[in-house]
């Protein structure tokens, strides 16, 4: 399987690390806006071709698929470009930053028939997989998800502390993880959704604090708090309050409600959620099937985000 990686920032490197552990995959091209850093990453990872032009990567002989880890604002156009070129594509979360662009991507996937997947890693983390498997087995029912997503982003830097060429977003990126996961774990789309946001940063132009509430028809609720102002433990922490136990998930770690660890090492072939996500993408291409976290499966979450955006934009300052 010959793959192109578009985007070589912090998350692009995570995908290179993941694919290095997957047999039968070869990264043959790297597309990035900065040629000097693209060359450096390509040489470090022994990628034979690098370019600042995605079209040039798409034209590489034998290319099967593309993983897009470029800035959010480029996802929709580049995702369509890949599919129109006949290439399978994984678009890192979020697939787009508007409902209209998300719906367009789903239409293009249906027109072209390629495998198109959104990078909703939470579906693949062993901790969340463990909960999901118990839900499918009828052993658990989610009553409430309580989620905290906290970072310290008062300057425009990425996870490696390097300057970003684009601006991250609490709603369209970080809330997207939880809105989709809540739907995935309950098997329902949100029937009610509400949002509040704090003041916008004077130079970044984005809300730095946000609160979201969701409810599905069966009655389960989700409470999500997000902040770029949190100067403390960083990341996302999930509490599942269920009819049969309480569980706390921190990425690939899972605890019960009394902080006793739960062994999730045997849930899948790896403890790395990015690797498991990439494995699913490549397996779906080989098996010619719809992947878990396909663009179509993730579209309801994008529609919920669009509804929430309308609410916060219409609210008084």
pLDDT in tens, 128-141: 999 999 999 999 99
What is the share, in percent, of the chain residues with pLDDT greater than 90? 85
pLDDT in tens, 152-172: 877 767 665 666 665 678 999
* Model pLDDT, residue 234: 87
For 56, 71, 185, 229, 277, the CA distances from 25, given in Å and listed in that order, are 20, 24, 30, 39, 14
What is the share, in percent, of the chain residues with pLDDT greater than 70? 96
**Which of 109 and 203 is assigned the larger pLDDT?**
109
pLDDT in tens, 270-306: 999 999 999 999 999 999 999 999 999 999 999 999 9
| pLDDT, mean over the chain | 94
Residue 99 CB contacts under 8 Å (≥ 6 apart), including other chains: 302, 303, 305, 306
* Model pLDDT, residue 156: 66
* Model pLDDT, residue 141: 97
Domain ranges of the chain: 2-120+274-291, 122-262+301-314
Model confidence band, residue 12 (pLDDT cutoffs 50, 70, 90): very high
Query: Are the C-beta atoms of 145 and 178 separated by less than 8 Å?
Result: yes
* pLDDT of 241 strictly over 70: yes
Fold classification of 2-120+274-291 (topology level): Rossmann fold (3.40.50)
State the burial class of residue 225 (Cβ atoms within 10 Å of its Cβ: 0-12, 13-18, 19+): middle
Model confidence band, residue 33 (pLDDT cutoffs 50, 70, 90): confident
pTM score, whole prediction: 0.94
pLDDT mean over 193-203: 92
Query: Are the C-beta atoms of 42 and 106 separated by less than 8 Å?
Result: no
Of the options 3.30.360.10, 3.60.21.10, 3.30.420.10, 3.40.718.10, the CATH number for the domain spanning 122-262+301-314: 3.30.360.10
* Model pLDDT, residue 315: 85
pLDDT in tens, 49-95: 999 999 999 999 999 999 999 999 999 999 999 999 999 999 999 99
CA angle, residues 34, 35, 40, in degrees to nearest 5 = 105
State the virtual CA torsion across 114, 119, 123, 127 in degrees, nearest 10. Answer: 140
Q: Which of 31-40, 207-216, 305-314 has the lowest mean pLDDT?
A: 31-40
State the burial class of residue 288 (Cβ atoms within 10 Å of its Cβ: 0-12, 13-18, 19+): exposed
* Cβ-based neighbour number of residue 187 at 10 Å: 13
* pLDDT of 204 strictly over 90: no
For 22, 244, 255, 288, the CA distances from 4, given in Å and listed in that order, are 15, 44, 37, 19
* Model pLDDT, residue 10: 87
Residue 174 per-residue DSSP state: I
State the burial class of residue 179 (Cβ atoms within 10 Å of its Cβ: 0-12, 13-18, 19+): buried
């Amino acid at each position: 399987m010959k793959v192109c990686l578009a985007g070589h920032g912090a998350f692009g490197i995570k995908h290179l690390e993941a694919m290095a552990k997957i047999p039968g995959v070869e990264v043959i091209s790297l597309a990035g806006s900065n040629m000097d850093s693209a060359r450096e990453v390509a040489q470090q990872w022994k990628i034979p071709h690098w370019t600042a032009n995605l079209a040039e990567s798409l034209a590489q002989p034998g290319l099967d698929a593309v993983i897009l880890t470029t800035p959010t604002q480029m996802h929709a156009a580049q995702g369509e470009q890949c599919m129109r070129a006949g290439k399978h594509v994984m678009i890192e979360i979020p697939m787009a930053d508007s409902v209209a662009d998300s719906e367009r991507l789903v239409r293009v996937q249906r027109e072209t028939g390629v495998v198109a997947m959104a990078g909703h890693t939470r579906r693949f983390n062993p901790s969340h997989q463990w909960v999901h498997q118990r839900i499918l087995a009828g052993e658990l029912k989610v009553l409430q998800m309580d989620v905290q997503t906290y970072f310290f982003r008062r300057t425009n830097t990425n996870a490696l502390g390097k300057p970003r060429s684009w601006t991250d977003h609490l709603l369209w990126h970080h809330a997207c993880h939880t809105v989709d996961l809540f739907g995935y774990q309950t098997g329902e789309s949100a029937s009610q959704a509400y949002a509040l946001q704090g003041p916008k940063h004077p130079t970044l132009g984005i809300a730095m604090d946000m609160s979201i509430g969701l409810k599905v028809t069966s009655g389960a609720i989700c409470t999500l708090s997000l902040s770029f102002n949190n100067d403390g433990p960083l990341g996302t922490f999930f509490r599942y309050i269920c009819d049969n136990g309480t569980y706390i998930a921190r990425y690939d770690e899972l605890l019960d409600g009394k902080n006793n660890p739960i062994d999730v090492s045997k849930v899948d072939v790896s403890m790395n959620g990015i690797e498991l996500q990439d494995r699913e993408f490549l397996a779906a291409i080989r098996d010619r099937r719809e992947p878990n976290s396909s663009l179509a499966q993730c579209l309801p979450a994008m529609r919920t985000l669009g509804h929430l955006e309308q609410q916060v934009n219409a609210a008084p300052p």
